[in-house]
Amino acid sequence: MFHFRKSNLMIIELDFRQESMFCQEKTTAVPLVFQRGYNRYVILLINLEALVDLSKHAFFEGKIVPWSEAKINIATHGFLYGTTVFSGMRAYWSEEKKRLFIFRPYEHFRRLLDSAKILSMSIPYDEQGLIQLTLDVLRTDNWQQDVYLRPTIYKADMGIGVRLHNLRDDFSMFVTAFDKYLSNDTNAHLTISSWRRIDDNAIPARGKISGAYANSALVKTDANRAGFDEAIVLDQDGQVSEGSAMNIFMVRNGILVTPPATDNILEGITRRTVMELAREELGLQVVERSIDRTEILIAEELFLTGTAAQIVAATKVDYRPIGSGEMGPVTTKLRALFDDVVHARVPKYHNWNVEV
């Protein structure tokens, strides 16, 4: 039994009374057509190469269940109002050790619980309890490939009314096979978005709040439709903040620079990892400071980081080459080192890898 990933589903509504209809999106998907009313149809374009196996399991409402049974009601508060927080985590299969390793789960769950505090949420699990749940879910399906995990805390009561208090909180988590988040991760072309990053006094970016990702979706869709791989988002003061959903680094004058946590960024786990690896293994000076828009255009190197994206080399911004216009030596070394670390090949960092 299978379900279609939303990211591989395109919905187009057409009025057949119009003389011309077309879709500018590039797709090789298979169309399924459903009538919505007189002369109106909804066409679902489904990528058959991206089916999700519903025979796998999830953690839902206090127990491990088949993914097909992990369903919320359409009146659930978290669905209606975006009152959920989540973390994106990865577990990596080591072909050498024939074992699966979760990467830095404690740090991910610490951030998830911090995000929950912002939305006045409480669940009966601490970091170690959540790690054990994760191990149980992964062992249930005996995963032997790289996977992505999505733990979520959400307002689980049903009904209408915008608030955070007097609502039941619940925890869920699913796992899916996962490879690349961005297909062009060695030669990405970015644009500076016209959208601004949400402010800490509006919806705090340091909390992974689901509703806030509408901001990221606006940024990402506009960039992709304009032909770019990704986008750079500025904060309300015009300083560089992040990618659509990734942290950003530049190399300038041999120094690795990234915006500080106070510039409306997510305090990324991969960001923290890259900063430590750059200092300890490459001997680089790493500086957290605000970055002007034009600084990135004259940087020697530019890259984005995130759990899903890992490390993405950016070689052009708005048609201007960054450095030589190719992935630079610092980015190249960090990508190779990061891959070794997450696959448990570097003993020094084994404390970051939790064996399943």
Which of 182 and 133 is assigned the larger pLDDT? Answer: 133
319-324 contact pairs (CB < 8 A, 24+): 319/189, 322/296, 322/297, 323/251, 323/299
What is the tens place of the pLDDT at every residue in 105-132? 999 999 999 999 999 999 999 999 999 9
Between CA 218 and CA 232 the distance in angstroms is 12
Q: What is the mean pLDDT of residues 175-181?
A: 87
Rounded to 5 degrees, φ, ψ at 117 are -60, -40
Indicate whether 1 pLDDT > 90.
no
Indicate whether 46 pLDDT > 80.
no
| Residues making up the chain, counted from first to last | 356
Active site residues: 208
What's the pTM value of the predicted model, to 2 decimals? 0.84
Task: Count H helices and E strands in the chain, helices first.
Answer: 6, 22
Q: What is the mean pLDDT of residues 6-22?
A: 38
What secondary structure does DSSP assign to 199-264, as a single string? PTTTS-TTS-BGGGHHHHHHHHHHHHHTT-SEEEEE-TTS-EEEESSSEEEEEETTEEEE--TTTT
What is the tens place of the pLDDT at every residue in 34-45? 344 444 444 444
DSSP 333: H
Indicate whether 253 pLDDT > 90.
yes
Which of 319 and 38 is assigned the larger pLDDT? Answer: 319
pLDDT, residue 134, reads 97
Average confidence score pLDDT of the chain: 88
pLDDT, residue 54, reads 64
pLDDT, residue 21, reads 31
Q: Percentage of residues in the chain with pLDDT exceeding 70?
A: 85
Q: What confidence tier does 331 reach under pLDDT thresholds 50, 70, 90?
A: very high
Alpha helices in the chain (DSSP H): 77-81, 105-118, 127-141, 213-225, 269-280, 329-342
If phi > 0 it is left, if psi is from -120 to 50 it is alpha, else beta; for residue 166 that is left
Q: What confidence tier does 260 reach under pLDDT thresholds 50, 70, 90?
A: very high
pLDDT, residue 34, reads 39
Between CA 104 and CA 294 the distance in angstroms is 34
Q: What confidence tier does 52 reach under pLDDT thresholds 50, 70, 90?
A: low
Q: Percentage of residues in the chain with pLDDT exceeding 90?
A: 81
Encoded tokens for 309: 């994206």
Rounded to 5 degrees, φ, ψ at 135 are -60, -40
First-to-last C-alpha distance (Å) of the chain: 26
Indicate whether 285 pLDDT > 90.
yes
Query: In Å, how far are 3, 6, 56, 325 from 46, measured between CA atoms?
Result: 11, 9, 21, 35
Between CA 60 and CA 105 the distance in angstroms is 19
Q: What confidence tier does 53 reach under pLDDT thresholds 50, 70, 90?
A: low
- CB of 257 closer than 8 Å to CB of 289: yes
